[in-house]
């Protein structure tokens, strides 16, 4: 027996109805008696508890994991204000999992990572005694607007090991950058991280790319604190954007920086990696600080990054090809796509092309869901990092389960 996956999605205005209809679609024609888990990505406009109640009215005893999203992805396109979900079932030898919830990301992101990973490991040990399996990967959905995304991963890595593959997407809201929600059997939480630790014979193929290229001079981060870049070249950090776009801070505040930060993020060269690691600042602090979803270290040599539609689509193609290559001989049974809202912003009306590109490479009959994130988690590919997971911005993470 292998993994079975069914999908459902809906965009009803009524939260309960939307949840119920999506679950009903997913359960329709379900050939098996059991469901191991449901993955849910939904718009933050919904009343989250009612949405989950709607799902539970159809599949009452199934553990639900997931988070709110800037937009959700279905095999048929992008849902701006909807819900997309997958139900998954497998025999324990092929696939099994444990999970952990980490709270208070804002206060201590690293500790939240610890909590989530520890809880998942504890539970996993109980399963291991039954199936003699080893841990394969950690799928996480952290809050995308509070805390330091990189610290969350560090926290997880301190428990799971530096090179343990961690993948996922940071929860979003509808471009408000205010509050996101995470789903777990503990209910709907905020300011938290949900992690699923998986095991079994299933293999994973991961591909991550962004497609942005460096532009202009190197600059140095001269002062920073966690995810806040305070000074660049001893000037307030915002000067980078003021200089490049010849606009003062006031205008940059009016013309939301998040849009500019998405289109022109900050990049840092990582030795051995093909692409720069990028960070998109989404808020300007009082003294011209740039607030990002994850940190860039002090003294880091940075550059402004630029991308275009072609480079972004090419990146999606490369990520899909890498994921497929990493899956080896196996054929994909299920695909999860976590892609940055920046990409959606850049691609505009052509956003569907990104998902089309992924589908054209991994195969159109592979069930696929995903969401637009405020940050992505996936391992680096270079030898230097030997598969260490990292917090990405502006990237697309294609995860194939086979």
Residues that bind another protein (CB under 8 A): 11, 13, 45, 80-81, 174-177, 215-217, 243-246, 254, 256, 258-260, 263-264, 282, 304, 306, 308, 346, 348-349
Minimum separation from the CB atom of position 217 to another protein (A): 4
Minimum separation from the CB atom of position 246 to another protein (A): 7
Q: Which is nearer to another protein, 32 or 301 (CB)?
A: 301
Q: Which is nearer to another protein, 25 or 308 (CB)?
A: 308
Please tell me the distance from the alpha carbon of residue 323 to that of residue 209, in angstroms, as a whole number: 11
Minimum separation from the CB atom of position 282 to another protein (A): 7
Please tell me the distance from the alpha carbon of residue 23 to that of residue 28, in angstroms, as a whole number: 8
Q: Which is nearer to another protein, 156 or 257 (CB)?
A: 257
Minimum separation from the CB atom of position 216 to another protein (A): 3
Minimum separation from the CB atom of position 64 to another protein (A): 23
The angle that helices 15-27 and 48-56 make with each other, rounded to 10 degrees, is 30
Report which of 284, 306, 303 is spatially closest to residue 236, judged by C-alpha positions. 284
Q: Which is nearer to another protein, 33 or 310 (CB)?
A: 310
Residue 340, token pair as written in the block? 């940055």
Of the chain, the end-to-end C-alpha distance in Å amounts to: 12
Sheet with strand 376-379: strands edge to edge? 96-103, 192-199, 135-142, 166-169, 376-379, 389-392
Please tell me the distance from the alpha carbon of residue 86 to that of residue 77, in angstroms, as a whole number: 15
Report which of 402, 214, 390, 239 is spatially closest to residue 307, judged by C-alpha positions. 214
Minimum separation from the CB atom of position 303 to another protein (A): 9
Q: Which is nearer to another protein, 164 or 175 (CB)?
A: 175
Minimum separation from the CB atom of position 73 to another protein (A): 16
Report which of 262, 256, 250 is spatially closest to residue 292, judged by C-alpha positions. 262
Q: Are 218 and 303 in contact (CB under 8 A)?
A: yes
Q: Which is nearer to another protein, 57 or 174 (CB)?
A: 174
CB-based burial of residue 384 (10 Å sphere; 0-12 exposed, 13-18 middle, 19+ buried)? Answer: exposed
Q: Which is nearer to another protein, 81 or 382 (CB)?
A: 81
């Amino acid at each position: 027996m292998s993994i079975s996956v069914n999908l459902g999605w809906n965009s009803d205005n009524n939260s309960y109805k939307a949840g119920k209809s999506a679950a009903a679609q997913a359960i329709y024609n379900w050939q098996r008696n059991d469901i191991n888990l449901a993955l849910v990505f939904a718009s933050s406009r919904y009343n989250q508890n009612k949405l989950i109640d709607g799902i539970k009215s159809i599949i009452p005893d199934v553990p639900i994991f997931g988070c709110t999203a800037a937009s959700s992805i279905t095999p048929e396109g992008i849902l701006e204000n909807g819900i997309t979900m997958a139900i998954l079932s497998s025999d324990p030898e092929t696939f099994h999992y444990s999970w952990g919830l980490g709270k208070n990301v804002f206060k201590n992101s690293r500790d939240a990572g610890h909590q989530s990973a520890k809880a998942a490991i504890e539970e996993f040990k109980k399963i291991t005694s039954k199936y003699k399996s080893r841990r394969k990967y950690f799928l996480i959905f952290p809050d995308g607007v509070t805390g330091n995304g990189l610290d969350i991963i560090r926290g997880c890595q301190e428990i799971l090991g530096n090179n343990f593959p961690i993948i996922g997407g940071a929860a979003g809201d509808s471009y408000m950058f205010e509050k996101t929600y995470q789903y777990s059997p503990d209910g709907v939480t905020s300011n938290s991280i949900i992690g699923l630790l998986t095991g079994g014979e299933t293999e994973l193929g991961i591909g991550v790319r962004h497609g942005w290229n460096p532009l202009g001079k190197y600059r140095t981060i001269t002062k920073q604190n966690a995810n806040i870049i305070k000074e660049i070249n001893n000037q307030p950090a915002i000067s980078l954007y003021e200089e490049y776009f010849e606009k003062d801070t006031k205008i940059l505040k009016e013309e939301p920086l998040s849009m500019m930060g998405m289109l022109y993020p900050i990049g840092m060269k990582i030795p051995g990696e093909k692409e720069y690691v990028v960070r998109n600042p989404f808020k300007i602090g009082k003294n011209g600080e740039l607030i990002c979803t994850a940190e860039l270290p002090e003294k880091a040599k940075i550059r402004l990054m630029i991308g275009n539609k072609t480079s972004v689509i090419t990146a999606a193609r490369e990520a899909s090809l890498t994921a497929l290559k990493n899956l080896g001989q196996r054929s994909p049974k299920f695909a999860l796509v976590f892609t940055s809202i920046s990409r959606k912003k850049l691609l505009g009306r052509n956003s569907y092309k990104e998902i089309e590109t992924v589908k054209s490479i991994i195969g159109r009959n592979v069930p696929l869901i995903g969401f637009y994130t405020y940050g992505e988690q996936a391992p680096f590919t270079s030898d230097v990092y030997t598969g260490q997971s990292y917090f990405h911005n502006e990237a697309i993470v294609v995860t194939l389960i086979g």
